[in-house]
Structures are given as C-alpha cells and as structure tokens.
Structure 1
Amino acid sequence: MIIITSVIFATFTARAEVVGSVDTVFKVFGPDHKIVVEAFDDPDVKNVTCYISRAKTGGIKGGLGLAEDTSDAAISCQQVGPVELNDNIAKGKTEGEVVFRKRTSLVFKKLQVVRFYDKKRNALIYLTYSDKVVDGSPKNALSAVPIIPWK
C-alpha cells in the first residue's frame, strides 16, 4: 500500500484597500482606464504601510476581468508607528519575501511587492514589479523605510 501525502505551503500576503482612483481614458463601453491607488500594511512588520499606484485597464475586457493591465506601478512606504521586526527579518532570512501580490491579467500576470532588510542602514526596502509566467517586465519601483525610534 502506497500512501501519498502532500504539504501545501501557504504564503500570506497583504490585502490592499482602495484609497482612490483617477480616470485616464474615457471608454464608451465598460469602465474607463484608470490609475488606482491602494494601501496595504506589511503583514510581517508592524507599523509599515505601503501605497501603490497602478494602471487598471478598462473597456469591455477590463470590466469583465479579461484585460491585461500594463506593468506600470509606483510604490511609497512609510513608518506609521514603532516598527517591530521579527527575528527572521532581522537576521536576513526572509530576503525578497513577497508581501503583496495582485493579479493583473486573467491567468499569467501579477504585480508583486517584495521586502528586503538593509541591516547596515537599518531600513526596509520594498520593490514592486510585474511578472509573467513566460515574459516579465523590467519596469519596477522602489521605496525605502528607515526604521526610526518612535515616541
């Protein structure tokens, strides 16, 4: 008798809240193309919030969730209270860990934010980029959060 077991590893990424949006192209049918601004809190670092602006494709395909969004995005992260690093982050064991992921096409493309810790400068670095199963994009944006004592 053969017993097959599988282990599923779940990675927890932050959920974004829409802060606002602006229309960039009017579409007669379906929603307009827009830039969406979203906020998320780092799931593993207390008191760091990141804001992402990203392109959202409208039109009929966009309204149905079938359009592929462009790889354009920007990020800004801030310390919003006393930062608490867990041991794995402080020791550099989680370099390049995905803290946020958003699907930007029906199947193969996603926008990601990964975190690095610069121990020498005591700062957290957040990199956003878009990837695809076959062909990713070199477009990226970066934000650094110096960890400052909080009163």
Structure 2
Amino acid sequence: MKKVLVATSILLFSAALQAEQVGSVDTVFKMFGPDHKIVVEAFDDPDVKNVTCYISRAKTGGIKGGLGLAEDTADAAISCQQVGPVELSDKIAQGKAEGDVVFRQRTSLVFKKLQVVRFYDKTRNALIYLSYSDKVVDGSPKNALSAVPIMPWNK
C-alpha cells in the first residue's frame, strides 16, 4: 500500500512540475468539494528555447474532483508565443522531431491525459503546437492549435 501511495505522489508531483498555474475561474458551484473550474497554466517548450505555451483546461470539482478521482472533460485551448530569440535543435530543424510530446497532464486517475505535441513547418519557419486528449480505449477529436512564427528578436 505504501508503494502505491509513493508512486501516486511521484506521478502527481512530476505532473505538477510540467506546468505553472497562472490562474483559474470557477464555472460551477459545488456544495461539497472544490468548484468546477477552468485552469490556465503556462509551460515552456523543453526542447525549444524561448517558446512559452499557455493552456486552459476544464478541471472537475466536487468530492471526486477534490480526491483526484474525477475525469476531466477533453475541453482545452492553447496559445503559444515566442518570448525571446528562438533556438531550434538540428533534430527539430531537420524535421526529425515531428509530433514530439512537449506537455502531458493527467485528466483522470489512470487512463486519460491531455497532451501537447510540436511540429515544425520548415516552409513557413513556424512551430505548430497541437493540444488533444487521449484515453487508453478512445480519445476525443476535440483539439486546439497554436502557431508560433519564428521571428528575429532584437533586444
């Protein structure tokens, strides 16, 4: 039992390290447990310097949500920006890192997660970020997209 608790704590802690919560708004009042919310989080692309993405997602409240047992909906939106001079690795610039996962957040206890993958559009010199939700058995076609044109950066 202790091993399960430790493993669960590690998973929850490592997921929390991936994004920083910027804010949230309540959408539904719950008498018991936290309210349903929309949470806004920020994360930096781990492989591309100076690109930050902001993702908003639904977070289920209530008793199950408060205990971490609820399944969040697949609703999410994403917006990514260049925040400094972008440096692409050779792997990304050559198109060998297409569809790399740059963010992953569990949206249920075990089987469902929200992911963000990155693509590089060499023709237009832009990074494309796609957010979607998947599940072991069936995912959702709901998705959101953000494009970051790579521009010269003057200090």
Query: Fold-level match, TM-score > 0.5?
Result: yes
The reply to whether residue 35 of structure 1 matches residue 38 of structure 2 is yes
Q: Aligned AA for 1:87?
A: D
Which segments of structure 1 move beyond 3 Å, counting only runs of 4 or more?
A: none
Deviation at 1:118, TM superposition (A): 0.1
- Partners of 1:79 and 1:135 in 2: how far apart? 33
Uncovered stretches (5+) of structure 2, i.e. residues with no partner: 1-14
Counterpart of 1:108 in structure 2 is: 111
1:66 counterpart (66, 69, 76)? 69
Distance 2:109 2:52 in 1: 27
**Rounded Cα–Cα distance in structure 2 between residues aligned with 1:102 and 1:71:** 12
Cα shift readout 1:75-130 (whole Å, capped 9, x = no counterpart): 00000000000000000001000000000000000000000000000000000000
Corresponding residue to 1:21 among 21, 24, 45: 24
From 108, 125, 128, the counterpart of 2:128: 125
Structure number with bigger Rg: 1
Return 5+ residue gaps in structure 1 as ranges. Answer: 1-12
Local SS of the residue matching 2:64: helix
- Offset of residue 15 of structure 1: 0.9
Q: Percent identity?
A: 88
- Residue 34 of structure 1 deviates from its aligned partner by 0.1
The alignment's TM-score, normalised by the length of structure 1, stands at 0.91
Q: How many residues align?
A: 140
